A = this chain, B = another copy of it.
Amino acid sequence: MSKLDTLIQDLVIANRILAKEDVVDAYGHISVRHPDNPNHFFISRSLAPELIEKGDIVELDLDGHPIGDEKRSLYLERFIHAGIYQLRPDVNSVVHAHAEDTLPFGIAKATKLKPVIHSGSFIGNEVPVWDIAKKFGDTNVLVTNMAQALDLAKTLGKNNIALMRGHGFASAARSLIEVVRMSVYLPRNARALMRAKQLGGPIKYLSQGEIDARNSGYSPYSPETWRAWEYWANKAACGHLLTRPDGGHVHGQKT
């Protein structure tokens, strides 16, 4: 399998993982930048992530237009991905989703979402909240054009995650595995913080130094990162689709 074929297959796996882990349902999507052409990215046609196969992946440019002749319906909110890839050359993978336990933090203004657990460190110390109404007034709350997408990407800034008021979140990372990991642990961090608040008293957040120490030690194919990817893929019944980029052996597959 070519490197590009492997990446597309990993994108299929990532879709199924996000569905299995309740990050997406019928809605929400994940994309990956074209490794050889930074002005293109891959994402599914309009289809629920759990049902996606290789043939459903389409190639779009950084304005959200399909490359070549594409007759199938596309995600209305594909612009979110295009906008973030435009403003953030360091980003290679983007998730937009509505994971339930992230929603309260975009609705209630009193509590900021910040890392309180080690697996939540990758969301970063600052999680801005973008409100589409601030600049665009009364809309259907969806990001359906590049102007809205670029405004969201500007609010995201250098951060890894932006909450979207009354809607969900966008997360951005250097690799597919990293953005999946961040998107799976984001709701867990949100729950830990909500419940800690209910217990009362002061909250102990991760320090900036702890967040930095974790980030600097991160590598997308370390045994620790691979362990989670392999686990999630097996839970989502995609173990047989796994490929190690280093050609190493994969659990449950014949050598």
Interface residue ranges, A against B (CB under 8 Å): 25-27, 46-48, 50-51, 73, 76, 98, 100-101, 103-111, 116-119, 121, 131, 133, 137-142, 165-167, 188, 191-207, 209-210, 212-214, 217, 223-224, 227-228, 230-232, 234-235, 251-252
A210 proximity list for chain B (CB < 8 A): 133, 138-141, 166
CA distance A144 to B82 in the complex (A): 40
A108 touches B201 (CB 8 A): yes
CA distance A202 to B108 in the complex (A): 6
B209 touches A137 (CB 8 A): yes
A103 proximity list for chain B (CB < 8 A): 116-117, 192, 195-196
Asked whether A192 and B139 contact (CB < 8 A) given A26-B227, A73-B223, A166-B206, the answer is no
A133 touches B194 (CB 8 A): no
CA distance A205 to B230 in the complex (A): 40
A188 proximity list for chain B (CB < 8 A): 100
A107 touches B193 (CB 8 A): yes
CA distance A195 to B206 in the complex (A): 23
CA distance A25 to B224 in the complex (A): 12
Contact among B105, B142, B193, B201 with A118 in the assembled complex (CB-CB below 8 Å): B142
What 3 A-B pairs are tightest by C-beta distance, nearest first? A110-B201, A138-B209, A48-B231
B110 touches A98 (CB 8 A): no
Contact among B138, B204, B230, B232 with A166 in the assembled complex (CB-CB below 8 Å): B204
CB distance from A109 to the nearest CB of B (A): 5
A141 touches B206 (CB 8 A): yes
Contact among B167, B194, B217, B231 with A51 in the assembled complex (CB-CB below 8 Å): B231
CB distance from A92 to the nearest CB of B (A): 22
A46 touches B119 (CB 8 A): no
